[in-house]
Amino acid sequence: MKRAFKYRFYPTEVQAAELLRTFGCVRKVYNLALQARIEAWTQRGERVGYQATSGMLTEWKRHSELSFLSEVSSVPLQQTLRHLQAAFTNYFAKRAKHPRFKSRKKSHSCAEYTRSAFRWRDGNLTLAKMAEPLDIRWSQTLPEGVVPSTATVSQDAAGRWFVSLLCEDPGPRPLRVVDSAVGVDVGLDHLLVLSTGEKIANPRHERRDRRALVMAQRALCRKQKCSRNREKARVKLARVHVRIGDRRADLLHKITTRLVRENQTLVIEDLAVSNMVGNRSLARAISDASWRQFREMLQYKAAWYGRNVIVVDRWFPSSKLCSVCGALAAAMQLHVREWTCACGATHDRDVNAARNILAAGLAVSVCGADVRPQRNTPGGRLVTKQKPLWREPQESPRSRGGGSQAGMYSPPLTSSTAPVTSEARRDNRNNTAPAHASSAGIRPSGLRAAISS
C-alpha cells in the first residue's frame, strides 16, 4: 500500500528562493502545454499527448525568452506535464472538468520530485539544485526500511512549507474484530449523533473565529492593490483561515479514529453536500461542519484497519420513519426536533434517524441487499433507492374512522414477486417496513429486531 506522509519544514533563504523559482517554472510549463493542446485541437483538430508536450519542453528551453526553464530541475517540469495528461484523461472520462490555466495568486504552489531528483540518506532529504538537506520537523516516523519514491514540496496561502513523502508502506495491521456496529447521522445542532444515543457537539470553528476573520478581511480591503502592506494583510487573513481548517481537521481525525477503533461496521448517509450548500441560509454552517471530509476520513481509515463502511441512500427517510413500528410520518419541518408516532413512541429526531440508518445498514450486511447490481462507491456499499412496482392504495382518514394519522411506509414489490392476493394485502398491511429492508430480503419483524438491538 502506498501512503503519503506530510511534514512541515523550514527552508533557508537560498532554498526558499530556489523552490519559488521552481514553482514559477512549473506553472509556466503547465500553462504553455495547456495552451498548445487547446490550439492544436481548436485549429487543426489534433490531439496532443504527453510525448508531444515533452518534446515541446525541450524546444521551449532553447528559446531565449524561456531560457530560465533550464535553471531549475527538469524533473518537476516533466511531472507537471504528466499531471496535465492525467487531467485530460479525467476530463475525457467525464470525471472532472476541463483543465484550467494556473494563476500565480490563486493556484496551489507545488512541485513534485521523483527518485532521480532528490537524495535520501540517513533520514535527510536533499532536493536537486540544493546543497543542504531540508530542515524537516518529523512529527511522525516513516516505516522502518522504507525509502520515499516521490517528494512533493508545497506552500500554502499562509506561507507555510510542507513536504509530502510517498512511500510503499506494508500497511497498518487490521484491528481486532469486534461485534459492535453504529449508525451515524450528521447534523448542524450536533455534529454527529450515534445510534447509541451519544451526541457529539458541533464546535462551529468558523463562528468562533468570525470576528478575527472579519477584521482581517476589512484590513485587507483597505490596503492598496499590489502593495507590500496588502500582501502582509493577505497573509494575516490566510493564517486565520488556516487556523480554522487545522482545528476542524484535528477534531475530525480524533472522532473518526475513535469510531473506527470501537466499531466493526459503520453506517452513514450518502448526502449531496454540493447541492445542500446551495441553500443560502445553511451554506456557511454546512461548510463549517465539513461532512464530506468526515466521510472521506472515515472511509480510508476503515479500509486501513479492516472495518466496514456502509452508505445508505440519500432518499432513505431516516428522520420520518419510526424506529419502533416502521410507520412513516407526514412531512416534517426542520425545526421539529422531537415527534410522537401513532404507536405512542416519542423520538428524538436525530437519534431516531441514526437508529434507522443502522437498521438499513444491518439489512445489507446480514441479508445481502447488494445481490442486485449496485452503484459502487469508494469504501462502502450503497443501499440504492428501490422504486416500487406496486403500492397498496391507502384508505382515506374518514374510512379509517377519521383523524389524520401517519401513513405506513409500504415495501416495494419486485418483478419476481408472486401475484398479490387479499391475504397477502392483509399481511402487508400489518407488517410494514422501510423499502430498503424489504428490497434487501429482510422481513419487517427482522428489521424491528435489528433496530431494537
Catalytic residue among 269, 392, 423, 427: 269
DSSP H or E segment with residue 114: strand 109-114
Catalytic residue among 18, 185, 206, 288: 185
Please answer whether residues 73 and 113 qualify as being in contact, where contact means their C-beta atoms are separated by less than 8 angstroms: yes
Query: Is 427 a catalytic site residue?
Result: no
Contacts of 163 (CB under 8 A, 6+ apart): 6, 7, 9, 125, 134, 136, 151, 152, 153, 154
Residue 311 β-bridge partners = 268, 382
DSSP string, 147-167: --SEEEEEE-TTS-EEEEEEE
> How many whole angstroms separate alpha carbon 364 and alpha carbon 382?
9
Query: Is 65 a catalytic site residue?
Result: no
DSSP string, 229-276: HHHHHHHHHHHHHHHHHHHHHHHHHHHHHHHHHH-SEEEEE---HHHH
| CA of residue 191 relative to chain centroid, distance | 16
> How many whole angstroms separate alpha carbon 189 and alpha carbon 282?
12
Catalytic residue among 18, 206, 288, 350: 350
Would you state the cell numbers that stand for residue 270, as one nine-digit string?
Answer: 450518502
Q: What angle do CA 349, 353, 357 make, to 5 degrees?
A: 175
> How many whole angstroms separate alpha carbon 121 and alpha carbon 140?
18
> How many whole angstroms separate alpha carbon 296 and alpha carbon 150?
23
Query: Is 395 a catalytic site residue?
Result: no
Active site residues: 185, 269, 350
